[in-house]
Amino acid sequence: MTWTTPDLCDQFPDVQVAEPVFRSFGGQPRFAGPAVTVKCLNDNSRVRELAMTPGEGRVIVVDGGGSLRRALLGDLIAGNAVKNGWSGFVIFGCVRDVEVLATLPLGVQALASHPMKTDRRDLGEVDVPVSFAGVSVTPGDWIYADANGVLVANAELHEA
C-alpha cells in the first residue's frame, strides 16, 4: 500500500472524511477494504460472529453509538479477525486489551479504550447502513484509514 489518506483526499475530493475522533490501536496503522457494517450498542455479539468468518481483506465498521461504557473489541475477537483475514476495524465505540491489539497485524481505529467487556445479549444488526462521525457507510463502501484519518468511498480508489 502506497496511498495515504491526504493523497487520496487530494486526488478524490468527493470522499467522505470522518471527523477526527478516532485513535489507532492496531499494529497495522494503515488499512483499507470493503466495509461490512454492524450496528450495536454495548453488545459485541455480531462483531464476534463476523470476526470468526472469512474476512477476505474487508473492514468491519461498527456503529457502537459512540458509547464509552463498554469495549466492543478485545484481544480474542481481534485475534480471530487476524486468523480469518480481516483488514481491520473502525469502531464508533471502545476497545480493550490495547497492549495486545498494538501487536497484531490488524488495523483498529476506535474512540477510546475501556476495560469493561460487553454483555452478550445476541443483539445487533449486520449489513445495514450506519452513520457516525460525519460519515455514512453502506455495506460494500471502501474504507481507508491511516494515522491521518478515516475515509469512506463508494468504490475502490485507484491512485493515478
Which three-class secondary structure string do you get for 69-86? CCEEECHHHHHHHHHCCC
Which residue matches cell numbers 499494529? Answer: 27
Structural domains present in the chain: 5-153 (3.50.30.40)
Which residue matches cell numbers 481481534? Answer: 78
pLDDT reported for residue 120:
86
Q: How confident is the model at residue 160 (pLDDT cuts 50, 70, 90)?
A: low
What tens digit of pLDDT does each residue of 97-145 get? Answer: 999 999 999 999 999 999 999 988 999 999 999 999 999 999 999 999 9
Rounded-to-integer distance, Cα 11 and Cα 151, Å? 13
Compute CA distances 54 → 60, 65, 136, 142, whole Å: 12, 26, 24, 17
Rounded-to-integer distance, Cα 104 and Cα 137, Å? 25
Q: How confident is the model at residue 17 (pLDDT cuts 50, 70, 90)?
A: very high
Identify the CA nearest to 133 among candidates 22, 8, 15.
Answer: 22
pLDDT reported for residue 47:
98
| Distant-in-sequence, close-in-space partners of 141: CB < 8 Å, separation ≥ 6 | 34, 35, 152, 153, 154
Q: What's the average model confidence in pLDDT over 141-157?
A: 97
Q: How confident is the model at residue 1 (pLDDT cuts 50, 70, 90)?
A: low
pLDDT reported for residue 42:
96
